[in-house]
Structure 1
């Protein structure tokens, strides 16, 4: 589906687009089959493109029909960007969005044809992301497989049939890294209040969260099992969890927080 004649066109080579591009190149994608459109790539990205031999243009060139058109720009500028690149869409082009709040219908109305809406998250920048995705009825099984290969260079892909679930995916994983970062901030601040120097408290919190994440990544056990494994009866961990797991504590707080994120995702979609 993607070839030098019908390239994989990446519109926007910022954090997310750049992470995807690096993953494709590292996975052995033919640089001649990639076209990047970005008026102001970073110096590091420009050097990466030049070294890999990937064509980069500041605007959509004439005479090009994309095999896959990946839109990796902020939702706020999507209207303007689409006007500039819609000429790249042909009858067999699949349009792939990684922008929050832009629905399948939004892209169908402006680009037509096959559309995939996806929600990756920022750990994609280190190859440890996860992406939720939904395809419209025009996306063939072959095209869906190709899209999954492209997205999976940065982590697993979870497909849903109901587009409404994308709002919940956005709330859980799309926005989720920020919750974890804030958890580290809270742990470090609580450690400081217990008497630790602030820099030591932060180092301990960061290492604990990243280490726990790696343990969970490698272990087949459920999160609840891992929690139980580190919780001795009547011990220090149990004392802390008695606070965090109280009826009015962390779970209802997360319920409210994720509901707010999902609601905002629906609002952005109009």
Structure 2
């Protein structure tokens, strides 16, 4: 029996990408609509944190199914997206996790040295109970986002464009799609999100096409930032410059985070 979706295998890159995201949303809607009602979220109202996490996770758990379908249409092994069961993958993931956490140590260490923040050391015990669940969430989000943006999307774009054009484009799409969840609040972070995407592309390149390093790096950033925020371990001083620190929970809108990302890219090239 002929595959009714076989025509997609011969379609343009743009059609394949559009079909992927459309299929993902269509499959998610039967879950998203009742969940949004239960969470009392009515678009286009901004999402609160307690509303965003269930919606995002419900969308992300469906991604492997859609990615598997895309791999079948292109007659490719799932490992082509950058995830394997080899021990080297886990080694790369661990290195990336350490590099991501190290970047945050560098970032907050410099900001402390500049006397821009105070550490709320009395809250340090609170961070312990958040560490494991936030690591699990960080890994889940990172695996899915890397599979989608540095796996499927980058692979598709590299078939039609020069690798650097594909990297620039996939990182731009990665940044712009954050507007879906955060609305105009994400606008100041778009340059930082784009640069973050580029650094994660570089991580895949230097890892020989594997996503291990990129997933670990991404998870390290999420885990570290979410843990600090949950424990309220840092507090910025009133005189600290907003344009450098990205105040109001938007670190990627600050110049220091951009410097940290550039330093990470430099470190990646020297691995």
TM superposition score normalised by structure 2: 0.31
Of structures 1 and 2, the one with the larger relative CO (CA 8 A, separation 6+) is: 2
Structure with larger Rg:
1
| Higher fraction of helix | 2
| Higher fraction of strand | 1
